[in-house]
Structure 1
Amino acid sequence: MSTPALVLTTRSPLTPLVVACLAATWLVWGSTYLAIKFALLSLPPFFQMGTRFLVAGLVLFAWMRWRGAPLPDARQWRNAGVVGTLMLGGGMGGTAFAEQTVGSGLVVAFIAVVPLLIVAVNLLWRVYPARSELAGIGVGLLGVLLLTQGAGFQASPQGLAAIAVATVAWSFGSVLSQRALPLAPGAMGFASEMIGGGLVLLLLAFAVGERPQWPPQPLAVGAWLYLVVFGSLIAFNAYMTLLARAPAGLAASYTFVNPVIAMLLGVALGGETISAFEWLAAAVVLAGVVLLLAQRRG
C-alpha cells in the first residue's frame, strides 16, 4: 500500500494513540492472512473477500453519512469501481485464491514486495526513484526471486501466479488512486472502494461457480467476522490516524513487520512449514523494503 509523504512536526511521535495504532496495523494486519486461511474452511476465496468488503464498506459508508460526509459524485464512484476492482478484486481476491494452496506466511512474505512495485509503477508517470531507492528495489526483487524457488511456491504454480497477479493489481490500483483516479475524501473514499471491490468480487464468485459450505464451520465464521471488524474497519482507521500523526516511515512500518508476524502465526497456529531457505528469502525481501522506506523517512 502506498504511503503519502506526510511529515510530523512533534519531536516525540510515540504517543499512546500512535502506539495503539501501530499495534493495530502490525498485529491485526499481520494476522489477517491467517484469518483468510481459516475462513477458507467454509468460504471460498472470492465469496469470502466479496462479502467481507461489501459488509465493511456499507457499515463505513453508513457511519460516514451519519457523521455528515457528502456522497461521492459519479466520477468518484467510477474511480472507486476501478480502484476497487484492482486493489480488492485483483489484490485481495488473488491473495485469498493463493492461500488455498500456499501457506499464509509465504503469501504475505511475497506481498512485502508491494512498496517496491509501487515505486516501479510510478515510473509510468515519470516519478523516478533515487539511486539509493533503486538499491532497495533490486534487493527486494532478488528476495522475491529466491522466495519463488522455495518448496512452498514450487509446489503450487497456480498459487504463485495468483499472488503475482495480486501484487501487481494492488500496486497499479494504489498508484492510480493517487495519480489519475482520485476517490472521495477521507474514509468515504475507502468505503466506496470497498463497496465497488466487494461487488466485483461477488460477481467473480458467481462467474466461477463458488459455493460456500452450509452450515459454515464456526472457525470460518469467526475468522470472517474478524476480517470485517478488525481487518477492514479498525486497522484501516488506525492506519489513517498514523498517516496524520506519525512520520511516513513509521506509518509504513507495517510493510516489513506484517510478514514476520504472519509467518510466525502461520507456523504456530496454522500448522504451516517454512524452510530455512524461505525464511532467508523473506529476510532479503524485507531488507529491500527497509532500504526503500529508509529513503522516505520524515
Structure 2
Amino acid sequence: MSTAALPARRAPDSFAVLTMIVLCAIWGLQQVAIKSTNTALPPVFQAGLRSAMATVLVWGWARARGTPLFRDDGTLGAGLLAGILFASEFVCIFLGLTLTSASRMAVFLYTAPCFTALGLHWFVEGERMRRIQWAGIVVAFAGMTLAFADGFTRTHSGASHAATLAGVTGDALGVLGGIAWAATTVVVRATRLAHSSASKTLFYQLAVSAVVLLALAAGLGQMRVETVTPLAVISLGYQAIVVAFVSYLTWFWLLTRYIASRLSVFSFLTPLFGVTFGVLLLGESFSVRFLLAALLVLTGIALVNAPVRRVAA
C-alpha cells in the first residue's frame, strides 16, 4: 500500500504507547542477545544469518498478504543503497560488541536519532530542524563526548592500555552504526522508498544485507560455527524472528497510523533498556561518569524528537 492511500495519522493512544514501550524493550535486549552469541557464531556470520532468516519471513508475510515485492516501481537503486547501509550498521554493531559492553553499545548506537535529524535537515524538504532540536543534538553530543572520555579512563581502573583501546574502538563502532542507521532512514525518507510498502522497504534492507554480510563473512573466514548451544539458538531466533521480523514490521505498521514524531520520542527508552539488560543479564558495570553521559544522550534524544507545536493562523 502506498503512502498516498494511508489514513490520516493520529496522536498515539494507550495501545500505541504500550506497544512502543514493548518495542523499545525488544530493541534494548538485542545488544545482549548479540553479545551472548558472539562466542558461538562469529559476529559477521551471525549478522548475515539473522538477515537471511528474517528475509525469508518477510517474503512469506508479503506473499501471504499479496504485497508485491518484485514489481518495477523505480525503487531498486534506493533499495540497494538502503540495504548496503543497513548491512554496514550491523557490521559495526556485531563487531563492536566483541570489543565493548552491551550497555555502552546501546548508548552509542542510539545517538542515531540525532544523526537522522541532521540528515533530514539537509536532504529532505520540510524537515528543517528547530532550535529545540539543535539544542538536543548539542546535549547528546556532549554526552557522547563524556562517554568517550569515560572509556579512555578505563586504563586507570585496572584495564590494560590494549583493552582500553579495544573498548574505545568498540564505542566508536557503535557511533558509526548509529550514523549508518541514520543514513538508512534518510535514504528511505528522501527517495521513492518513502512511497513503497513497509514490507518491500524492509525486504530490501534484509535481503541486500544478507548477501553483503554473508559474502563478507566468507571473505573474513567467519563462515563457521564454534559451538551450538541452546542460548545461541534462542538468541539467533530472537534476533531474526522477534527483532528483525516482528518488531520492525510492527514499527512500520505504527508509522502508518500514528504521528511519527510522537512515536519517535519513545526512542530514548531503548538505550535505557539496553543499559538495564546489560547490567542485569551480563553483569556489566559502569561509572558515575558514564551514567551522566548516558543521561545527557537520553535528554538529547528526547529534545530532538520533541513534537512540533503548531500555532493556528
Residues 1:137 and 2:148 are matched in the alignment? no
Distance 1:151 1:217, change over 3 A: same
Aligned to 1:111: 109
Structure ID, larger Rg: 2
Q: In structure 2, how many angstroms separate the alpha carbons of the residues matched to 1:37 and 1:90?
A: 18
How far the C-alpha of 1:39 sits from its partner, in A, is 1.6
Matching residue's letter, 2:151:
A
Residues 1:86 and 2:78 are matched in the alignment? no
Residues 1:166 and 2:166 are matched in the alignment? no
**Aligned match for 1:100, one of 98, 101, 105:** 98
The question of whether the paired residues in 2 share the 8 Å contact of 1:150 and 1:278 is answered with: yes
Aligned to 1:244: 256
How far the C-alpha of 1:84 sits from its partner, in A, is 1.1
Distance 1:295 1:135, change over 3 A: farther
Aligned to 1:279: 291
Give the SS at the match of 2:213.
Answer: helix
The question of whether the paired residues in 2 share the 8 Å contact of 1:94 and 1:162 is answered with: yes
The question of whether the paired residues in 1 share the 8 Å contact of 2:117 and 2:129 is answered with: yes
Matching residue's letter, 2:231:
L
Residues 1:30 and 2:18 are matched in the alignment? no
Matching residue's letter, 1:287:
T
Q: How many pairs are equivalent?
A: 289
Distance 1:34 1:170, change over 3 A: same
Identical aligned residues as a percent: 24
Using the size of structure 2 for normalisation, the TM-score is 0.84
Unaligned runs of 5+ in 1: 1-5
Range that drifts further, 70-79 or 92-101: 70-79
**Aligned match for 1:263, one of 275, 278, 287:** 275
Matching residue's letter, 1:76:
T
Distance 1:152 1:69, change over 3 A: farther
How far the C-alpha of 1:130 sits from its partner, in A, is 1.3
Aligned to 1:151: 151
Using the size of structure 1 for normalisation, the TM-score is 0.88
Distance 1:202 1:254, change over 3 A: farther
Range that drifts further, 110-119 or 257-266: 110-119
Residue by residue, what CA displacement relative to the aligned partner does 1:84-124 show, whole Å, maximum 9, x if unpaired? 1102x111221111000101111111122111111212343
Unaligned runs of 5+ in 2: 1-6, 155-163
Range that drifts further, 147-156 or 101-110: 147-156
Range that drifts further, 69-78 or 140-149: 69-78
RMSD: 2.3
How far the C-alpha of 1:40 sits from its partner, in A, is 1.0
Q: In structure 1, how many angstroms separate the alpha carbons of the residues matched to 2:226 and 2:309?
A: 48
Q: In structure 2, how many angstroms separate the alpha carbons of the residues matched to 1:115 and 1:135?
A: 13
Distance 1:269 1:7, change over 3 A: farther
Q: In structure 2, how many angstroms separate the alpha carbons of the residues matched to 1:282 and 1:233?
A: 28
How far the C-alpha of 1:161 sits from its partner, in A, is 3.1
Aligned to 1:3: none
Q: In structure 2, how many angstroms separate the alpha carbons of the residues matched to 1:153 and 1:109?
A: 18
Q: What pairs up with 1:49-60 in 2 under 5 angstroms? A: 49-60=47-58
Range that drifts further, 114-123 or 66-75: 66-75
The question of whether the paired residues in 2 share the 8 Å contact of 1:133 and 1:295 is answered with: no
